[in-house]
A = this chain, B = another copy of it.
């Protein structure tokens, strides 16, 4: 059984400590969406795809909400259509339409429900390591800085894996294995990433190497925090990013979990 750190001092985050940890896994709990502003205006939380007709759900003082996203044709700004006004400050998220086939799962928020799922499945067999469930990743960060400081100062751990979902691109394809990111907008320390590549190769786990010039993750706060963290983003790729129709190949989920199990043993 892991030690569980949760409660007010951790805001809405949770930390699980297993055995004698050497590496920490970060999986963010938060989602993209919208905040209701004035009139029928919406303000974005993170970077949701803006498409008229998308179904949004929420809850305010008058009860449950199921409304429709409408993009203003002149301004390009998001608004909503509903039978009544919604309370100022209400948060709206995509309505979930979960679809599963033999080879894929499809839904909103696979980023980062799948990263969380991967971390939870990892816990089933984890002997030594830390698993962190974080907040605010989709909107500029705000929790990993203090989580990372506590973990480093308490356990001396400064190796991290980012359990999150990345993008299908011209170089990273669905079904060809979990992506090991060599860089995104930030550049992790090469010696650490190369250790991870060697472990993946030696274990014969299907994987792909990703190289991007943009995008970020919980690793931003590790990179910029006041501890010498080594970090690497390791996650399955999805298509239809940040839409209600995010889709992931099940083989990539399998290789993601297999690689995390191996990395947590060897790193």
Contacts and interface: CB of A to CB of B under 8 A. Distances in A.
Interface of A: 9-12, 35-39, 43-45, 88-89, 91, 136, 139-143, 145-146, 148-149, 158, 169-171, 182-183, 185-187, 189-190, 209, 211-213, 221, 223-228, 230
A10 B178 CA distance: 30
Contacts of A185: 140
Given A88-B171, A171-B37, A136 B228 contact: no
A74 to B, nearest CB: 16
A209 B89 contact: yes
In the A-B complex, the 5 residue pairs with the smallest Cβ-Cβ separation, listed nearest first, are: A38-B171, A89-B182, A43-B213, A149-B226, A145-B226
Contacts of A187: 35, 45, 136, 139
A209 B149 CA distance: 34
A227 B39 contact: no
A38 B227 contact: no
A183 B91 CA distance: 11
A54 to B, nearest CB: 18
Given A140-B186, A189-B11, A226 B35 contact: no
Nearest to A169: B38
Nearest to A183: B35
A237 to B, nearest CB: 13
A223 B142 contact: yes
A225 B141 CA distance: 10
B226 A146 contact: yes
A224 B89 contact: no
Contact of A38 (B12, B38, B148, B211): B211
A87 to B, nearest CB: 9
A44 B88 CA distance: 35
Contacts of A91: 190
A227 B45 contact: no
B228 A225 contact: no
Nearest to A172: B38
Contacts of A148: 226
A146 B241 CA distance: 34
Given A89-B209, A209-B88, A43 B183 contact: yes
Given A170-B38, A182-B88, A183-B89, A43 B145 contact: no
Contacts of A211: 35-38, 43, 88-89
A211 B44 CA distance: 11
